Amino acid sequence: MTRKAKLKRLGLFGGTFNPIHYGHLRTAEETAEALNLDQLWFIPAAHPPHKAPEAVTSFEVRLEMTRLAVGRHPVLKVSDLEGRRPGKSFTIDTLRHLRARLGREAELYYILGLDAILEIHTWKDYRELFTLCHFVVLDRPGYDRGHLQEFLRQEIHKDFQDLPQGGGYLHPSGYQVLFQHTTLMDISATQIRRLVRSGRSVRYLLPEPVRRYILQNRLYLSG
Ligand code: ATP
């Protein structure tokens, strides 16, 4: 089988991953299982559009931590795609590229937290995103799903339809915005960076090889 034929159902989990933590990993594991994904790719942003370059750890370091976290998982994988493109890492460019590369028969699911989708109107060509793939929304402590329907209808497309049983919304393109219930974990990369900076433990918030890498490379001690 060709690579193209194997990847029928592909999850795409973009982010800064500075660093990757169990809030990303466990939700990815549960989503991949629930949606029966063939693969789920973590795609670290090389040049996150919304962050000042000097405020973000280098792409190579974030990529390495993501690889250490995932190891040889049969379904979860790490993609360096955005590192191979010059300029800012816009999700629309990644989705257009993967659509062209994998063909229409591949079902693409872009996975993101509720906090992220509620800011999607600040992303490049954000309305087009919903015409390229399904979106899978993960709950995040402190964020309320209740506003999403109104937000999508106001900012993205007025004709979003409700899916049965409150499962999400259907865009006129045929792609869906799906809710995925996953274990709620109040973990953020910001919290981890803060803990490291103040000399406190980050054990059990992220995989042990990533914790060791952070300490060995003296990451997050300033800033
Ligand atoms: P930071 O604190 O630096 O902003 P972060 O922890 O939010 O980082 P990102 O790399 O910015 O992590 O997030 C990538 C994606 O993962 C986003 O869509 C975000 O909503 C989602 N995400 C991050 N942490 C969690 C979590 N604990 N539970 C569910 N989704 C999460």
In a domain, 102, yes or no: yes
Task: Supply the residue whose CA is at minimum distance from atom 21 of ligand 1.
Answer: 113
In a domain, 28, yes or no: yes
In a domain, 222, yes or no: no
Checking if the pLDDT of 61 tops 60, the result is yes
Structurally, how many domains does the chain consist of? 1
Whether 39 lines ligand 1, by a CB cut-off of 6 Å, is: no
Whether 185 lines ligand 1, by a CB cut-off of 6 Å, is: yes
Domain with 88, as residue range(s), is: 3-188
Checking if the pLDDT of 33 tops 70, the result is yes
48 — phi, psi (to 5°)? -55, 125
Q: What is the tens place of the pLDDT at every residue in 116-166?
A: 999 999 999 999 999 999 999 999 999 999 889 999 999 999 999 999 998
Q: Is the peptide bond before 19 cis (omega within 30 degrees of 0)?
A: yes
In a domain, 206, yes or no: no
Pairing of strands 168-170, 39-44: unpaired
C-beta separation of 206 from 20 below 8 A: yes
pTM over 0.85: yes
Checking if the pLDDT of 1 tops 50, the result is no
| CATH number where 107 lies | 3.40.50.620
In a domain, 203, yes or no: no
In a domain, 168, yes or no: yes
Task: Look at residue 35 and give its three-state secondary structure.
Answer: coil
Whether 188 lines ligand 1, by a CB cut-off of 6 Å, is: yes
In a domain, 136, yes or no: yes
What span, in angstroms and rounded, lies between the C-alpha atoms of 141 and 187? 9
Whether 190 lines ligand 1, by a CB cut-off of 6 Å, is: yes
- Burial bucket for residue 176 (CB in 10 Å: 0-12, 13-18, 19+): buried
In a domain, 215, yes or no: no
Quickly list DSSP for 67-83: HHHHTT-SSEEE--GGG
Order of strands, sheet of 168-170, starting from the edge strand that comes earlier in the sequence:
76-78, 39-44, 9-15, 107-113, 134-138, 176-180, 168-170, 161-162
**Residue 112 Cα: closest atom of ligand 1:** 18
